[in-house]
Structure 1
């Protein structure tokens, strides 16, 4: 795909994978607008990197709608959106209380957030000569981590959402790409020091290389995630589940 001269909106790019990809896409000659809840952090990143910024809370449907209008008004050449924002929290289903709040919050942010974002921008994207919707699932969409059942479920839903809208929009100018990260060294689940997680810069660099190299990428799979992504096809799913959950 073409990863230069685009105008890209990335809610959830104030840290971690989102910020790493935003910086690399900007270095490739794209105009990058990042979104987040905290205006002070957005202002700092705008100064540091030169990003455009839009305040957005991906758990708030009204704010998603207003931010969608704002980003199109301010950046009418917008032709790519990457739904990066997400949360990952452990749940304990042995407890009578506690896990439901986490589960509902996870569904709202990880699944309804991207759906609402794409709904707010799709009419504009349809009017562009070429446009791209990028979803972000996870290796845990394909092999579950016992600690995070609802996170796993939302990422599996994002995978199937990507498959479905790619089929529906095949007759349009909109390309649908799914990035499938493995465990990456970010603050998500306190993995920043984990030896089992992929270094952030390595993940971001490999992802950008794959986006450049593939004409119609569909899924972006760094080598580290293939152990999870293809477990069922290889026939070793049960073993992969044991290995994954033996690490945590």
Structure 2
């Protein structure tokens, strides 16, 4: 916990030099924030399950604990895992009518280039979303308001806050017919988490974070539409040839 130069109080967002003080005989004393007179980070005593529940509820304190007061560096692994699940769902739409109980067919299908194409498309859309959000924040916060941005921390926050896509796992495992409403709710939850992560990192208003997320979603939608039209154009060319 001493790898960072400073931490943040999960209650008031003020900087703190330490989260706890280690005395002899294994006695720990939680540091009290000088600004709000509350524990700097109450979550250091909590079970990880409680922290996960609070993060799922999009509590600001839990987000500050995860983003500022921990050395959690699984955002890239989580990103790849979620992209694989999303790519599988898209790929399964192409082969939804091809049902087979032969394991050899499953192995053969996973080697098809279409799956990798879907993975690339999902990665491109996620990149467009993150790029749109970061460009908006750079233009508004960095240029107009004269603030400073830590793009690395913002990108990490955006990728970690996409953890809601893990809810796609039951669809991948059980291979049941997924409801568009269910997928829409998962998307809404992910966007809400993205907005909360931006708000925590910048200590900004909810309006600014929502505007950034909306612009990122618009950029992602535009890229998806362009890719879909290009795919149709390529298919038309092959048909005419």
> TM-score, with normalisation over the residues of structure 2?
0.29
Compare the two structures and name the one with the higher helix fraction.
2
> TM-score, with normalisation over the residues of structure 1?
0.28
Rg comparison, structure with higher value: 2
